[in-house]
């Protein structure tokens, strides 16, 4: 799966998790992340006009730092590469996150 960022990104080095579900920043991404669809956009399940693909078909975005991981890789228990890092302060991301929180929590 090729990742095309949907929001402004920050530079990342070749960063890899240890395979324990924690983000490079230390946040436990398995429990504290936002779901992003295959298009890289935050998935607003309640607003989707048709059923969405399984969350496993997309990405997890760390709520603490914005690093993005492929869901299938993150859940494998193996070391996982960061595919991008969203700028959590960018206006487009903030707007999408507000809608995500309002409709998914």
What confidence tens digit (pLDDT) does each residue in 49-86 have?
Answer: 444 445 456 899 999 999 999 988 888 889 999 999 99
pLDDT tens digits for 10-30? 999 889 998 888 999 999 988
What residues contact 65, with CB distance under 8 A and at least 6 apart? Answer: 23, 24, 25, 27, 85, 88
- Check whether 45 has a pLDDT greater than 80: no
Q: Domains of the chain: which residue ranges? A: 33-104
Query: How does residue 39 score in pLDDT terms, banded at 50, 70 and 90?
Result: confident
State the alpha helices, DSSP H only, in 1-105: 71-74, 91-104
Q: What predicted TM-score, i.e. pTM, was given to this entire model? A: 0.85
Identify the residue whose tokens are 């399940």. Answer: 45
**Average pLDDT, integer, range 36-60:** 67
Query: How does residue 44 score in pLDDT terms, banded at 50, 70 and 90?
Result: low
16 within 8 A of 79, measured Cβ to Cβ: yes
- Check whether 105 has a pLDDT greater than 90: no
């Amino acid at each position: 799966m090729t990742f095309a960022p949907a929001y402004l990104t920050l530079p990342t080095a070749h960063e890899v998790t240890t395979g324990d579900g924690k983000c490079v920043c230390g946040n436990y991404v398995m429990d504290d992340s936002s779901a992003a669809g295959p298009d890289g956009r935050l998935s607003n399940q309640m607003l989707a006009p048709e059923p969405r693909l399984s969350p496993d078909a997309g990405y997890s975005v760390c709520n603490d730092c914005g690093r993005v991981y492929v869901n299938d890789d993150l859940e494998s228990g193996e070391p996982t590469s960061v595919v991008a890092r969203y700028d959590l302060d960018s206006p487009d991301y903030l707007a999408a996150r507000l809608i995500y929180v309002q409709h998914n929590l």
